[in-house]
Amino acid sequence: MKRNVMSSLQAWKVSTRRKPLLLEGPRQVGKTWLLQEFGRLAYETTAYVDFEATPSLCTIFEGDFDLARIIGQLEIATRSVITPHDTLIVLDEIQACPQALKLLKYFTSDYHIACAGSLLGVALHEQSSFPVGSVNFITVGPLTVTEFLHAIGQTGLAEAIINQDWQLLAPFHAQLVQTLSDYLIVGGMPEPVSNYAQNHSYTEAREIQQEILRAYDRDFSKHAPPEQVPRIRDVWQSIPAQLAKEQRRFSYGQLGSGARTRTHRAAIEWLAQAGVVMEVKRVSVPRLPLSGYADRDAFKLYLADVGLLGALAGLSVSTVLEGNRLFTEFRGSLAEQFAAQHLFSSCGTVPYYWTNDGGTAEVDFVVQREHDIVPVEVKASRNLKAKSLRVYQDKFDPRLIIRTSLAQFEHHENLVDLPLYGLETMPTLH
């Protein structure tokens, strides 16, 4: 399976600023496979440790830091010869071994150490003494639509999208819209994608998604503070309904009577730290840096993956057979979810959204791109009317505007009509 993040891993290996690596991302997004495949491709040997499967190995990292002892014990545990620069040491599910997290800062650059964990963001938040400056971070998410195309054998179309060869793609637009429909159902989690690539069964992909959702629910019970578990489930189960509203801003009122920021804010933060939701905050003024103008109390919640959103919502897989209805279900929230996760994947940061002070105009997303703020309007069909986008343009005069929909690529002065399946190319558009 081709993953774009592999190039980031290769860059980490040769970097003069290389430190121990923490690979972040939600459960079952393929972190373990990525590190093992990276080790196979880029190193002579891989020494692999799974702290959840073998918790007794945490004792290797207890006591004072003794590099020679730790390396020797890792060699015995993994039945490997660990050679500086030629061996990749993989510490998987490292959140289950807090002492190993603390000791990462002491490893010299001679040893290439890559760590992963299903709830690494939660663990790092709890480890208040953890020296973040002593490690490198790479985030991995679900497969993008071009990675999906690679997985189903459509390499030529994937490369044409990456190269932004819109003229070459024009005759295949209808085919790509159908593939986009497939993606909205199957999503980008590796196991459903792999199964779909082999069996072309939406039903089997949905069954796997339900298994992933059950695994997430077990994580809530096992790892979250007990008093927060019911609130986490309340927030999690409400997300499809929150996104189905005309105004998708998160409403505590939909969680039931008594739900407020003070009671449920910690639950939202836990889900975000676990990597299973994206919190897209509002900005009223699109200025650099966007984070400085974010409204903490006005936000939308999206899942990490559009396929999981459909599964959580109970969306019938037969909808994919009903033309463009799939794009308009839940008031177009599947298209917005698709856009949110692809903007996050391609830009490296969670996007924001914009509304004017009166709430009469709203742009779905605004993203920071080098020295620009780029508004992105998502249309769930080929209807390209966008009154809010005009309000934004008149007020802020952006150098680039993105309108993404089922329409083909067109460029009009500073406005780019970008097909949804090409949204991950947005950071390199001019």
In total, how many domains does the chain have? 2
Give the predicted TM-score (pTM) of the model: 0.95
Same domain, 382 and 260: yes
Quick one: residue 315, left, alpha or beta (phi over 0 = left, psi -120 to 50 = alpha)? Answer: beta
Question: Is 80 exceeded by the pLDDT of residue 382?
Answer: no
By C-alpha distance, which of 262, 346, 263, 269 is closest to 301?
Answer: 269
Cα–Cα distance between 264 and 254 in angstroms, integer?
12
What is the rounded average pLDDT of the residues 362-389? 87
Tens digit of each residue's pLDDT (9 = 90 or more) over 211-229: 999 999 999 999 999 999 9
Tens digit of each residue's pLDDT (9 = 90 or more) over 284-319: 899 999 999 999 999 999 999 999 999 999 998 887
Same domain, 302 and 186: yes
Cα–Cα distance between 28 and 195 in angstroms, integer?
14
Query: The domain that contains 26 carries what CATH number?
Result: 3.40.50.300
Same domain, 158 and 72: no
Same domain, 213 and 87: no
Cα–Cα distance between 23 and 115 in angstroms, integer?
6
Q: Give domain status of residue 1, yes or no.
A: no
> Which residue range forms the structural domain that includes residue 128?
6-139
Q: Give domain status of residue 319, yes or no.
A: yes
Same domain, 214 and 182: yes
Is the dihedral angle over the CA atoms 279, 283, 286, 287 positive or is it negative?
negative
Q: What's the mean pLDDT when you consider all of the chain?
A: 93
Select the more confidently predicted residue: 332 or 382. 332
User: What integer pLDDT is reported at residue 361 of this predicted model?
Assistant: 94
Same domain, 411 and 367: yes
Question: Is 70 exceeded by the pLDDT of residue 260?
Answer: yes
Q: Which of 139, 154, 172 is the last residue of a domain?
A: 139
User: What integer pLDDT is reported at residue 125 of this predicted model?
Assistant: 79
Tens digit of each residue's pLDDT (9 = 90 or more) over 86-116: 999 999 999 999 999 999 989 988 999 999 9
Q: Which of 139, 168, 196 is the last residue of a domain?
A: 139
Q: Give domain status of residue 132, yes or no.
A: yes
Q: Which of 93, 113, 139 is the last residue of a domain?
A: 139
User: What integer pLDDT is reported at residue 384 of this predicted model?
Assistant: 64
Question: Is 70 exceeded by the pLDDT of residue 144?
Answer: yes
Same domain, 159 and 279: yes
